[in-house]
Amino acid sequence: MGSRMRTGVLGVALVLGVLAIFSLRAQEAAPKGDPVHGKAISYTCLGCHGVPGYKNAYPNYSVPELRGQHPEYLVAALQEYKSGERSHFTMHSQAEELSDQDMADIAAYFAGTPLTTGHPPGTPVPPAVAVCASCHGADGVGITALYPTLAGQHADYLARALDEYQKGARKNAIMANFAAHLTSAQVEEIADFFSKEQPSLQTLPRPATRISEE
């Protein structure tokens, strides 16, 4: 492991305890999600997140799978799109219309039953993944509710997310510090590893419509 990567490791390690406390407090303060109401108001979300293999138009990468994700993380992501901490025009437009309760309800609907940790990795953990595992788990399941689960997520989406942290399109300080030290080969290695972990995230299927049935 190079000196730049070791610096990233130390930076992550120093804040893990603080973030774990923050995660617990955030969970206590967050509104409880109602998946029934979430289903009723998420019809526009399903236009992208309810289609298996659907891709963002430009730049071209797979829309993330959300079924099995931590709902608390989904809420945090929506809040970041709303505030502009994450740069994506469509997601910002969607999120800025949502209240905190709406976000909690949509997250509860899409997440369903979150994946649980404790599954051995399907393949040996590459060196580049070792730092990721401290938050996202060696099996790809986030160790707290505010750390996203990566198991089975689309590899091209994971690579895109790391690229956005490197370029500042996502402004999470911890991830930006970690991603800054990654080479292109390491980004691909990390994305490929987590995309193959099982059990995996899934795409929540859209309810059948007259058009889709035909």
Q: DSSP secondary structure string, the chain?
A: --HHHHHHHHHHHHHHHHHHHHHHHHHHHSPPP-HHHHHHH-TTTHHHHTSTT-EETTTTEEPPP-BTS-HHHHHHHHHHHHHTSB--HHHHHHHTT--HHHHHHHHHHHH-S---S-PPPSSPPPGGGHHHHHHH-TTS--SSTTSPP-TT--HHHHHHHHHHHHHTSB--HHHHHHHTT--HHHHHHHHHHHHT-SS--BPPPPPP-HHHH-
Give me the percent of the chain exceeding a pLDDT of 70. Answer: 83
Residue 149 lies in a domain: yes
Residue 27 pLDDT class (50, 70, 90 cuts): low
Question: What would you report as the CA-atom Rg of the chain, rounded to the nearest whole angstrom?
Answer: 17
Residue 48 lies in a domain: yes
Q: Rounded to whole angstroms, how far apart are CA atoms 38 and 13?
A: 36
Quote the number of domains for the chain: 1
Place of tokens 């938050």: 135
Residue 99 lies in a domain: yes
The residue with greater pLDDT, 90 or 11, is 90
Residue 168 pLDDT class (50, 70, 90 cuts): very high
Residue 142 lies in a domain: yes
The residue with greater pLDDT, 123 or 164, is 164
Residue 213 lies in a domain: no
Write the CATH number for 19.
1.10.760.10
Residue 211 lies in a domain: no
**pLDDT tens column, 31-48:** 999 999 999 999 999 999
Question: Is 147 in contact with 136 (CB distance < 8 Å)?
Answer: yes
pTM for the structure as a whole: 0.85
Residue 129 lies in a domain: yes
Q: Which of 177, 203, 178, 173 is closest to 190 using CA atoms?
A: 178
* Domain with 186 in it: 3-206
Residue 214 lies in a domain: no
